[in-house]
Structure 1
Amino acid sequence: MLLVFDVGNTNIVMGTFEGDELSFSWRMSTDKDKSSDEYVILISQMLQYQDIKPYMIDDVIVSSVVPDLMYSLEHAIRKLFKLMPLLVEPGIKTGMDIQYDNPKQVGADRIVNAVAAFQKYAGPLIVVDFGTATTFCAIAEKGNYLGGTIAPGIKISSDALFQKAAKLPRIDLVKPGQVICKNTVNSMQSGIIYGYVGLVEHIVNKMKKELSPDAPEKVKVIATGGLSTLISSETEIIDMVDKTITLDGLKIIYDLNSQDREKEIPPEMLEG
């Protein structure tokens, strides 16, 4: 059984694969201040809920955009599974040509998403990930990672409005049903959600024309992330919502790197 971790700025998503099938997935809040022992307890409890024992985990792969958390998480994995996790970092095989000015600057989650999206849906395509930041990634017809755009996430935009405007309240991210609103909360919801739909549509349309100038309609658009369903329900620009694409990408990358991998760790590294 393979255990995968997608470490984001807001949440950590973990899942288990039996063969090529994602059997279970869990979500926990990202907390850079937690110790390795605290993560041992959290991970153990989530696995125990599905009656999965630590000895049943054959290997572990981790993708992270939160460097400050990795010390505790890596040590938790070592303590719990007696395994050295495979990390998605520069030098790992992805099967994808990264045509970024500096490939080391591309977030691990963006690469993992792109790898899975291309294998599952083929190119040309755009992957929109609605996370703490919203990322737009362009993958060419032959599978080259071309780059993309990064925008503030929906929740960041909502929180900024609450924090910077003295009289505006914190709001739930739900659709108000209309744009001409009769109260402050609905007015804010309308501006955040419908405004964000406009942002997504404009960026995607421009990316489509750059990706495929002669036939932009051939470019597929795949959305993922916590708020992908909310936004996709208000636009026809998104072709597919795939909530497990990051976990699927971790499995694909693991398979590319698992042969002859040194996963066992010496006893002296098990402490700490």
Structure 2
Amino acid sequence: MILAVDIGNTNISVGSFSDKKLISHFRIDNKVLINQKATTLPIKPSLLNESKNIIIASVNPDIESVFYKSLAEIHIKKILKIGREIELKIPILVENPQTVGIDRVLNALAAYRNTGTSTIVIDFGTAITIDVVSQKGEFMGGLILPGIRTSAYALNKQTALLPEVNIKRPAKIIGKNVEDAIKGGIYFGTVGSIIHIVKELNRSYGYLEYTIATGGDAKTFKKDIPEIDKFIPYLTLEGIKLAFEENLKNLNS
């Protein structure tokens, strides 16, 4: 059994894989990890002890440091990191490959292994990333938008009177109060942006065979973005598992 750990900007996603299948998964709020003592890492000790390897991918250095310290406090040493001990076997065709978020590349890897052809990958998280994988399995680059919670937070912090609201699909597009106006603006603005971007990507690159969505907010948009062919909730964890499997020969040598 292996434990895949995706350290993000808001949450840590943890998935346990056995016989190549995801058998359990959960999320840890980053604030919980910061506020707790290292010896109270919110992962069952049995899960850590039963895992042959703990594979970590991170886009958040500060939380990563806290997580490593927490593991060290309970004497867990069987840790491998994506990009350090584990190489990503996917061509990254951008100007500065080292600056691309590891989660984006893992999503691309997992998406391509799933479809075997050209794919658009949309990850609905703190930021919304929209990336393109070529027919040959190359990471071509993409776009980054603010996520719905990030947009709501920014509106609240950058204005004097607008409240911070929980974004979900409003019943009507026109809001009859400030809260619903914000919900509608952010929700339908995001929908419109993604539909237009997918259209432009297909126009620019020729027809891309699949569009896959993942991330914590992906299901929120399922009804209004018919361009999405597949929803894979834990695509990044799948990417971590695949990257580990593709490096097994080197790790065992």
Alignment TM-score > 0.5, same fold:
yes
SS in 1 for 2:34: coil
Q: 1:226 matched to which residue of 2? A: 216
Q: 2:30 matched to which residue of 1? A: 30
Q: 2:131 matched to which residue of 1? A: 137
Q: Is the 8 A contact 1:124 1:211 kept in 2?
A: no
Structure 1 CA distance for aligned equivalents of residues 164 and 66 of structure 2: 32
Q: Is the 8 A contact 1:90 1:104 kept in 2?
A: no
Q: Is the 8 A contact 1:138 1:211 kept in 2?
A: no
Q: 1:3 matched to which residue of 2? A: 3
SS in 1 for 2:74: helix
Q: Is the 8 A contact 1:32 1:68 kept in 2?
A: no
Q: 1:187 corresponds to which letter in structure 2?
A: A
Q: 1:122 corresponds to which letter in structure 2?
A: G
Indicate yes or no: 2:147 matched with 1:153: yes
* Greater alpha carbon shift after TM alignment, 68-77 vs 249-258: 68-77
Gaps of 5+ in 1: 263-272
Q: 2:44 matched to which residue of 1? A: 47
Indicate yes or no: 2:163 matched with 1:164: no
SS in 2 for 1:123: coil
* Higher Cα Rg, which structure: 1
> Relative to 1, partners in 2 of residues 1:31 and 1:99: Cα closer, same or farther, differing over 3 Å?
same
SS in 1 for 2:166: coil
> Relative to 1, partners in 2 of residues 1:96 and 1:27: Cα closer, same or farther, differing over 3 Å?
same
Q: 2:236 matched to which residue of 1? A: 246
> Relative to 1, partners in 2 of residues 1:123 and 1:39: Cα closer, same or farther, differing over 3 Å?
farther
Gaps of 5+ in 2: none
Structure 1 CA distance for aligned equivalents of residues 145 and 14 of structure 2: 25
> Relative to 1, partners in 2 of residues 1:164 and 1:107: Cα closer, same or farther, differing over 3 Å?
same
Q: 1:20 matched to which residue of 2? A: 20
Q: Is the 8 A contact 2:52 2:78 kept in 1?
A: no
Percent of aligned pairs sharing the same letter: 31
Q: 1:183 corresponds to which letter in structure 2?
A: N
Q: What is the Cα deviation at residue 201 of structure 1?
A: 1.0
Structure 1 CA distance for aligned equivalents of residues 47 and 181 of structure 2: 49
Structure 2 CA distance for aligned equivalents of residues 53 and 167 of structure 1: 46
Aligned pairs, number? 252
Q: 2:44 corresponds to which letter in structure 1?
A: L
Q: Is the 8 A contact 1:78 1:84 kept in 2?
A: no
Structure 2 CA distance for aligned equivalents of residues 235 and 203 of structure 1: 12
* Greater alpha carbon shift after TM alignment, 67-76 vs 77-86: 77-86
Q: What is the Cα deviation at residue 13 of structure 1?
A: 0.5
Q: Is the 8 A contact 2:169 2:187 kept in 1?
A: yes
CA deviation vs aligned residue, 1:183-216 (integer Å, no higher than 9, x gap): 221111111101110111111111122222xxx2
Q: Is the 8 A contact 2:132 2:140 kept in 1?
A: yes
Structure 2 CA distance for aligned equivalents of residues 53 and 243 of structure 1: 21
Q: What is the Cα deviation at residue 93 of structure 1?
A: 2.5
